[in-house]
Amino acid sequence: MTLKNSTEGQMSTRERILAALQGQPVDRIPFVPLIDTYSVLDMPAHVQQALQAAASAGYWQGMLAAIREIGCDILLRHVYVTQSASGAPHLNGFGFFDPPVVTSSRMDGSLLVERLETPIGTLTGTWGFTDMHGWIPHPVKHLVTDHEELKIFAYAVEHLRLEKPEPDFGNIIQAEKAIGEAGIATTSFLNTPLMDLIETCWGLDNTYFMLHDYPDEVEAILDRLHRVQRLVVERIAESPAKVVIEYENTSSTLLSPKVFRRYCLPLLNEYADILHSSDKIFLVHMCGKLAAFAGDLASARFNGIADISPHPTGNFTLDEAVAALPGKIVIGGIDATTFIEPDLGQVEAKVAGLIGRIKQYPGVLLGSADTAPRGTPLETFQLIQHLVETAGSYRTVGGYQPGEFHAARTQSPVPSKETPATGTEPSGGLDMHQVLLELSRRLDGKRPEVTGSIKFIVTGDRIYRLFIEQGKCRLEISDGSSDASMAGTPKNLLALFTGKLNAMAAFMTRKIKFDGDLKLLGVLTAAAE
């Protein structure tokens, strides 16, 4: 199907994106790359500062601020509409575990250690963080590697709560209000159970070995996880969110078409039916090698695929995808190597050529093949945005002239918004001893179930230790062993303790470093509320 009619007049970005997501005519092709904290790591200081300032309120607020600075159309990801369990980020992604199952986590240097404790045994998994990837961990030790561990995991899964999660609809309402006509906010949920085990807790080899050797036990686990996931989807269907994206990461490097048809496609179709009953647009993020699944994807009941990837990440170009999947919405198409290409002339040639090949089709949104990579120059985003507004326009003929973006660039340097690096920040007159004493007084006697010690390593100041014994607090100026440690400048620590700096934002932006028991971190941040 080709696009024969275009709209008259200019659409708002929100109108344009929603029309494209419904396969309707648009005035121009939208440009909606997937931007997350990894994408922003090497961007100019004014982009990072915008993220950091807004992220004190939450993740999506920080990402929205960064995307505004980058200047592309806004398709905001991961605005959650349900409340999630705490204890361990990966394990609690499965849902709420009821007693006697307990989850916990702690930082051990650059490693996140998560524990799943049951009466029949305990499982431990670790995920690592690097400076290169920021707040995106990679698995180091899988949770399940043999049959005994499989039995412990099965016991825990049987104690997952079979109830809809509590709603948090105010989140999406606030995000949509903040974005206005500049774009839309989307909500999301985790991948199908088999893909979750492969990617999150068991690993590729372990998952297939277990499925082959103990099929009944593994399929019982998959069934239980699906029942929990279905309840999440039902709650999302009740939310005000218009667009839902499930992050499946489908690729023939992880599963065959036969396995996809057996364990993933029926569940995705079931989720699609639930969401369509509430008039949601349901997209599935598939950033891998998809050519082998073309027939299955064409018959699937979800609306479309987000973040289509050509080589080297995937093997499906955007124009190949839209031709092979008639009636489906497709997003993505620009591979990582194009984003980080230093020659803007080559970027322009590649992207303009892609726009020319996809322009005849409805329901196409130009974006990134998975996350826009770290190191993408800001000018590359600006160039691509210029291309969709000219070469990607349906309202004008001949509106794009190759090379005009470069000719229009000023030859004089743009005033920098960067703040010069000053090394360690001065205390600015802050008396950290008094700050920590006040924190100790605020905590004292409030949490009688808590016992532990926290070390504060204050840049340009001293080392302090806060001892908590059944809720009673005592502060010392001393070094030594502790259950957790926190390091940062006086300014950033004060912002954290007073609730002006969100804990997650502090760690994602590396303003504060934390090692040790994450429950103690929760005690500290709760005191700031």
Residues 80-105: tens digit of each pLDDT = 999 988 778 899 999 999 999 999 99
pLDDT at 411: 41
Backbone dihedral angles phi then psi of residue 236, each to the nearest 5 degrees: -60, -40
Annotation: CATH topology of 432-527: Nonspecific Lipid-transfer Protein; Chain A (3.30.1050)
pTM of the full structure:
0.81
Q: How many residues are recorded in the chain?
A: 529
pLDDT of residue 397: 57
Going 80 to 81 to 87 to 89, the CA torsion angle's sign is: negative
The position carrying tokens 């080559």 is 346
Return the residue matching tokens 């999150």: 200
For helices 204-213 and 215-237, angle between their N-to-C axes, nearest 10 degrees: 120
- Residue 240: per-residue pLDDT: 98
C-beta neighbour count of 417 within 10 angstroms: 12
Within the chain, which residue ranges are assigned CATH 3.20.20.210? 23-82+164-395
- The terminus-to-terminus CA distance of the chain in angstroms comes to 54
DSSP one-letter string for 169-230 = THHHHHHHHHHGGGEEEEEEE---HHHHIIIIIS-HHHHHHHHHHSHHHHHHHHHHHHHHHH
Architecture of 23-82+164-395 per CATH?
Answer: Alpha-Beta Barrel (3.20)
Residue 278 CA, distance from chain mean position: 24
Contact 94, 225 (CB under 8 A): yes
Cα separation, 169 vs 160, in Å, equals: 23
Q: Could you tell me the CA-to-CA distances from 516 to 104, 133, 436, 459, 519 in Å, in that order?
A: 11, 21, 19, 19, 9
Q: Digits of tens for pLDDT over the chain (529 positions)? A: 334 344 556 899 999 999 999 999 999 999 999 999 889 988 998 998 888 888 888 889 999 999 999 999 999 999 999 998 877 889 999 999 999 999 999 988 889 999 999 999 999 999 998 877 777 888 999 999 999 999 999 999 999 999 999 999 999 999 999 999 999 999 999 999 999 999 989 999 999 999 999 999 999 999 999 999 999 999 999 999 999 999 999 999 999 999 999 999 999 999 999 999 999 999 999 999 999 999 999 999 999 999 999 999 999 999 999 999 999 999 999 999 999 999 999 999 999 999 999 999 999 999 999 999 999 999 999 999 999 999 999 986 556 778 767 655 544 333 333 333 333 333 445 678 888 888 888 888 888 888 999 999 998 888 899 999 988 998 888 888 899 899 988 888 888 887 777 776 677 667 888 888 878 877 877 666 5
Question: pLDDT per residue over 46-68, tens digit each?
Answer: 998 888 888 888 889 999 999 99
> 130 — phi, psi (to 5°)?
-130, 160
**Sign of the four-CA dihedral 499, 504, 507, 511:** negative
What number of other Cβ atoms are within 10 A of residue 356's Cβ? 13
Residue ranges, comma separated, of all CATH 3.30.1050.10 domains in the chain are 432-527
Closest CA to 72 of 382, 369, 286: 382
**What's residue 124's pLDDT?**
97
pLDDT at position 522 is 77
Predicted confidence at residue 224, as pLDDT, reads: 98
pLDDT for position 244: 98
Tell me what pLDDT residue 413 has.
39
